[in-house]
Structure 1
Amino acid sequence: MAKIIFVSGPCGCGKSTFTNVYARHLVDKNRKTVYVIHGDDFHAGLHKADSRRNALSEYKDF
């Protein structure tokens, strides 16, 4: 059965490091394909015009 594992947290907390180590563990253990999609890559694809401008405008209240 396919599963989706979502890892979230603040910048610099080790999400990418954990994800890469865990993905390698899953591949070695189960010998299955694991896809890792980083949020920055995913988020940029959501905006058609200017992803940087749109992303900044979303967070203007913070």
Structure 2
Amino acid sequence: MIRLCGIGGVYLFVVPLFLFYWMNNRWNVMGKFERLFIYGLVFLFFPGMVLFAPFLNLRMNGKEES
């Protein structure tokens, strides 16, 4: 039972947070195969991504005016 909760916690919390972090840091420099791999992981871990989506702001910073 504890092992099942651990696997569920990794599936719903740990991996989705890592994916949000990875996408936020690498969005502009990802290659096409890395982007395809990340999209596949987002599809696989979609329930966890939906849990955190309302709380995380991943919009890009606009260009600052000079």
- For the pair shown, the structure with the greater C-alpha radius of gyration is 1
Hey, which of these two has a bigger chunk of helix by percent? Answer: 2
TM over 0.5: no
Q: TM-score range by the shorter chain?
A: 0.3 to 0.5
TM-score where L is the length of structure 1: 0.36
Whose RCO is larger (CA < 8 A, sep 6+)?
2
* TM-score when normalising by structure 2: 0.35
